[in-house]
Amino acid sequence: MHVVSREEMRNIDQYTITHIGLGGPVLMENAGRAVYAALEPECKAGDRICVVIGKGNNGGDGFVIARMLFDSGAKVSTWLAADPQKISGEAANHMRAYCACGGTLLRISDEPETFQQQLDRADWIIDALLGTGIHGAPYPADQQVIRWINASKGTVISVDLPSGVPANGEAFDHPAVLADQTMTLECPKLAQFMQPAARHFGTVRVLPIGIPNKAYQQVGVQRELRMRSDVVRTLPVRDPFSHKGNHGKGLLIAGSKNMPGAAFFSAKAALRSGIGLLKVSVPEVIQPILAAQLPETMYLPRVQVALDGASGVGIGPGLGRDAREEELVCRLVEESDTIPCVIDADGLFHLRNHLDLLPKRHKPAVLSPHPGEMALLTHSSVQDVERDRFGISKAFAEKYQVYLVLKGKATLVTAPDGRQIVNPTGNAAMAKGGSGDVLTGILLAFLLQHEQMMDAVSNAVYVHGAAAEELAAREHSLLDVLASDLIEAIPPVLHQLYDEKTCR
């Protein structure tokens, strides 16, 4: 499923209308019909529904929804936030169709008190005020309508976008609808994955409105939301005659005296994610503790680190920040030139002054910063990173020729050629020290078992988040999940995914 910017969505609509010949009224009819079909099973007989309509095409969708509700005998009141004379194009066609079917239009500016009363009594409020077309802050009259909607008690369903939210997710401080549910038309917009916009969406449903694939190809959309079916399709299949050497010989350089756990989490996650052989390089002082906890791996004293036949390397979790480690990180990034290399945490800290090593590699490295580390790598602030996750990731991945995993809610994976995949899994239970170390291990293991690096990285991020969801869905709350619990939830997640693979 594609993820689009405002401009891409407009071009896709335009291509569909002009070159494919599906007219604007058809798409609008499809959009309104899709929202109605999603809403109808949730409404009880006698529920009061208030449809709030703006001047543009988002309002046009609202007319279609109002018409279908009216025709079905629902208790619908339809409120216009604009002058009907100023409504034009497809929206005007659908306004006329609504009226021709016998529907009544009320203007908010004529009867603001009645509007507020009806909003207060409504079980459902359909927000079709503003969609992707808004520029800047909503006009003052619309801001007032938005405040009234937000003060209402009914369930607010936003059509396409919560009104007032900029589709590209730019930071804003003006009023915007706080939806309970957003029925996104055709495909998710960037705003759904960015702060502060994302908080306005409530739960999201994506409703297809019949845009053909050709339109996406023509516009050249390079962003996708990872679907479960993509993960199931691309997970590696084990050859029944395989042996441990076929599933990767990983070398993990992690952990220090004060952070032995980081090495443990990454190593155990790699083993749980299918790696064939794993060697962990830690300072000698912590080796006995780790060896007792994790007897499945081999150990290599930190002072003797060498690739020594490894087919993939993971560097960084809990590594430490001394000059010795900086040298080690640089050496390994250079020496592991032709094999997968995952760099995280302290590895990124050291690498920040040696980024020029990255584009020289034959096999692109995988970097997995959280927003703080990304700010360090780009000499910017966390706010700068969060303001433009998509743009900053793309520029960095292309410039340094790396796979970049920008972590957070909706972790974003970017390939060296600029393709981007948004991850849908995960929850706030992962907001705890050690979660990232688990991801490093899954990444290393998956890179050694997948054909395509983009699949390996995206599937690792998906499984990592799905493990947290699995825990929260069963015996855990969002408060009590530990990094070690995440590792123990990898098996049920993989079990389920492989089950789905064999069912196909």
Ligand X SMILES: NC(=O)C1=CN([C@@H]2O[C@H](COP(=O)(O)OP(=O)(O)OC[C@H]3O[C@@H](n4cnc5c(N)ncnc54)[C@H](OP(=O)(O)O)[C@@H]3O)[C@@H](O)[C@H]2O)[C@@H](O)CC1
Query: Is 32 annotated in some ligand binding site?
Result: no
Kindly state whether residue 439 participates in binding ligand ADP, applying the rule CB under 6 A: yes
Kindly state whether residue 455 participates in binding ligand X, applying the rule CB under 6 A: no
Q: Which residues contact 298 (CB under 8 A, 6 or more apart)?
A: 277, 278, 279, 280
Position 347, amino acid: G
Distances (CA, A) of 456 to 342, 366, 439: 12, 11, 12
Q: How far is the CB of 66 from K ion (least distance, A)?
A: 14
Taking each helix axis from N to C terminus, what angle separates 389-400 and 371-378, rounded to the nearest 10 degrees?
Answer: 50
* Contact string (CB under 6 A) for ligand ADP, positions 444-483, x = contact: --------------------x-------------------
Residue nearest to K ion (CB): 163
CB-wise, 138 or 426, nearer to ligand ADP?
Answer: 426
Position 272, amino acid: R
Alpha-carbon gap, residue 205 to 1, rounded angstroms:
13
Alpha-carbon gap, residue 47 to 404, rounded angstroms:
48
Query: Is 432 annotated in some ligand binding site?
Result: no
CB-wise, 127 or 470, nearer to K ion?
Answer: 127
DSSP state, residue 433: T
Print the SS3 string covering 453-474. Answer: HHHHHHHHHHHHHHHHHHHHHC
Pick the binder of ligand X from 84, 112, 133, 196 (CB under 6 A).
133
Query: Is 459 annotated in some ligand binding site?
Result: no
Pick the binder of ligand ADP from 313, 434, 446, 471 (CB under 6 A).
434
Window contacting ligand X (CB under 6 A); options: 48-56, 118-126, 277-285, 366-374: 48-56
Kindly state whether residue 21 participates in binding ligand X, applying the rule CB under 6 A: no
Kindly state whether residue 22 participates in binding ligand X, applying the rule CB under 6 A: no
Q: How far is the CB of 132 from ligand X (least distance, A)?
A: 4
Q: How far is the CB of 366 from K ion (least distance, A)?
A: 38
| Residues numbered 218-277 forming contacts with ligand ADP, rule: CB under 6 A | none
Burial of 138 (0-12, 13-18, 19+ CB in 10 A): buried
**Would you say 347 and 316 are in contact if contact means Cβ atoms under 8 Å apart?**
yes
| Residues numbered 356-415 forming contacts with ligand ADP, rule: CB under 6 A | 370, 407-409, 411
CB-wise, 391 or 433, nearer to ligand ADP?
Answer: 433
Query: Is 318 annotated in some ligand binding site?
Result: yes
Query: Residue numbers of the site for K ion (CB under 5 A)?
Result: 58, 127, 158-159, 163
Pick the binder of ligand ADP from 365, 426, 456, 472 (CB under 6 A).
426
**Would you say 253 and 468 are in contact if contact means Cβ atoms under 8 Å apart?**
no
* Binder of residue 142, out of K ion, ligand X, ligand ADP, none (CB less than 5 to 8 A by kind): ligand X
Query: Is 59 annotated in some ligand binding site?
Result: yes
CB-wise, 116 or 427, nearer to ligand ADP?
Answer: 427
* DSSP E strands, 399-498: 403-406, 412-414, 420-422
CB-wise, 161 or 404, nearer to ligand X?
Answer: 161
- Look at residues 355, 362, 316 and name the one whose alpha carbon lies nearest to residue 335: 362
Alpha-carbon gap, residue 330 to 360, rounded angstroms:
12
* Binder of residue 127, out of ligand X, ligand ADP, K ion, none (CB less than 5 to 8 A by kind): K ion
Q: How far is the CB of 54 from K ion (least distance, A)?
A: 8
Query: Is 230 annotated in some ligand binding site?
Result: no
Distances (CA, A) of 429 to 2, 135, 200: 27, 36, 21
CB-wise, 161 or 319, nearer to K ion?
Answer: 161
Helix, strand, coil: what percent of the chain each, to 5?
50, 15, 35
Phi then psi for residue 2, to 5 deg, are -75, 155
Window contacting ligand X (CB under 6 A); options: 51-59, 227-235, 377-385, 481-489: 51-59
Structure tokens at 422: 């948004």
**Would you say 228 and 258 are in contact if contact means Cβ atoms under 8 Å apart?**
no
Q: How far is the CB of 353 from ligand ADP (least distance, A)?
A: 20
Pick the binder of ligand ADP from 288, 418, 433, 491 (CB under 6 A).
433
Query: Is 133 annotated in some ligand binding site?
Result: yes
Q: How far is the CB of 424 from ligand X (least distance, A)?
A: 22
DSSP state, residue 302: G
Sign of CA dihedral 306, 309, 315, 317: negative
Position 372, amino acid: G
Q: Which residues contact 104 (CB under 8 A, 6 or more apart)?
A: 77, 78
Q: Residues marked as binding for K(+)?
A: 58, 127, 163
Q: Residues marked as binding for (6S)-NADPHX?
A: 57-61, 131-137, 160, 262, 318, 370, 437
Q: Residues marked as binding?
A: 57-61, 127, 131-137, 160, 163, 262, 318, 370, 407-411, 436-437
Summarize as ranges the residues that interact with ligand X (CB under 6 A): 13, 24, 27-28, 31, 54-61, 130-139, 142, 159-161, 185, 209
Summarize as ranges the residues that interact with ligand ADP (CB under 6 A): 345, 370, 407-409, 411, 426-428, 430-431, 433-437, 439, 464
